[in-house]
Amino acid sequence: MNDMEKNLVSESEDFAAMLEETMIKFRPGQVVKGVVAQVSDDGVVVSIPGKADGYIKKNDLVTTDCKVDDEIEAEVVKLNDGEGYVLLSERKVMATKNWEKLVAEHDTGACVEATGREAVNGGLIADVMGVRAFIPASHLSRRFVENIGEFVGKTMTVKIIEVDKTKKRIVASRKAFLMDEKKKAWEKIEKDQVVPGIVRRLTDFGAFVDIGGVDGLIHVTDLAWHRVKHPSEIVAPGQEVQVKIIGVDKEKERIQLSLKALAPQPWEVAETKYPVDAIVEGKVVRITTFGAFVELEPGLDGLVHISQCALERIAKVEDAVQVGQVVRVKVLKVDTEAKRISLSIRQALTDEVKFDADVQDLDFDDISDAE
């Protein structure tokens, strides 16, 4: 063995001796305090008393927003992780500190905040005050959960259904909490209430809305006063809405909701919005042998009789207007009880022609002199 090889062996032995000397100062299970020296996506390096640095993996880190120079307390898991670091776990420290408190303050049946950590076979591993909790897949929701992973990183309220003091583990249920909330929500629901909600799902026949833990249905006919072909014309999933409860069947757990009940019925304000002699615009929506129906606004149509469709006499309505055409009309009569509005294209045209003629007859020089 040459001198270079001897030197390398010597340096290796010295490093091993130094590492062993450092490790002797720690033991598995020991709680140490240190200062964060480096933060990465996988974990943090911690400067601890002695000549070695500690390392906390991301999964064993409770303080997710820690920064360099922050003080941190952790438990020694392994003296050497193979990279020269003392393997540490902040989670174990938190679990030990909070276990007795959790058991004392939150016995079976209590509700606590949990954060999903890992999707495993059969359920979700979650963190409750630093203590490991297991939520079975069948207890994650009121409905079947196809992707357990969607709950990882999510904070939720769960109900403790089992406490295993030997293993220092709890079994929790999000479903039980949701069922309790649903029961409470049903107790508060009464017909004619106006409540906030969130649109959850659309179907051809209506929109399902979450009104505080329970779902109600807005039938397509209750979305608006005018005819709606599909709910997507009025609402979208995730949209916040105010709805009126128009029917409750607690035995069948069915709630009927209405969006249009909170909007004024178009005919109730028709006389005010469209006074006689007013000239307004509308769209031709239907043509019959006796006239054309013009939509002034969704849910409010007026009739232009064939005799009022043009300045000159016409043989058929299509000679003057077409479906989809926007026309200017004059309001002749509003009958809110019969829900009828009489309109005239001819008189609107006559008034506008007369107005143009009057404007042309004005002597603007005389007006200027008068000023």
Look-up of token digits 């207890």: 139
Is there a domain that residue 365 lies in? Answer: no
Cα 229 from chain centroid?
A: 25
Looking from the CA of 300 toward its CB, the CA atoms found within 13 Å total 20
Distance CA 152, CA 116 (A): 4
β-partners of residue 152 are 116
pTM (two decimals): 0.52
- Tell me: do 294 and 343 sit in the same domain: yes
pLDDT at 360: 53
Longest dimension (CA), the chain: 122
Nearest to 55 by CA among 22, 12, 105, 89: 89
The last residue of a domain, from among 235, 262, 289 = 262
- Tell me: do 279 and 336 sit in the same domain: yes
pLDDT at 106: 66
Which residues, 6+ apart, have CB-to-CB distance to 258 below 8 Å? 218, 222, 243, 244, 246
Structural domain that includes position 201 = 190-262
Residue 216 φ/ψ, nearest 5 degrees: -125, 160
How many domains does the structure of the chain reveal?
4
Under 8 Å between Cβ of 128 and 111: no
Cα 329 from chain centroid?
A: 44
pLDDT at 204: 93
- Tell me: do 271 and 338 sit in the same domain: yes
- The number of beta carbons lying within 10 Å of the beta carbon of residue 346 is 19
Ranges under pLDDT 50 in the chain: 6, 8-9, 15-16, 19, 22-24, 359, 362, 364, 367-371
The last residue of a domain, from among 128, 152, 179 = 179
pLDDT at 369: 47
Is there a domain that residue 19 lies in? Answer: no
Distance CA 223, CA 226 (A): 9
Q: What is the CATH number of the domain that holds 338?
A: 2.40.50.140
Look-up of token digits 């909790």: 133
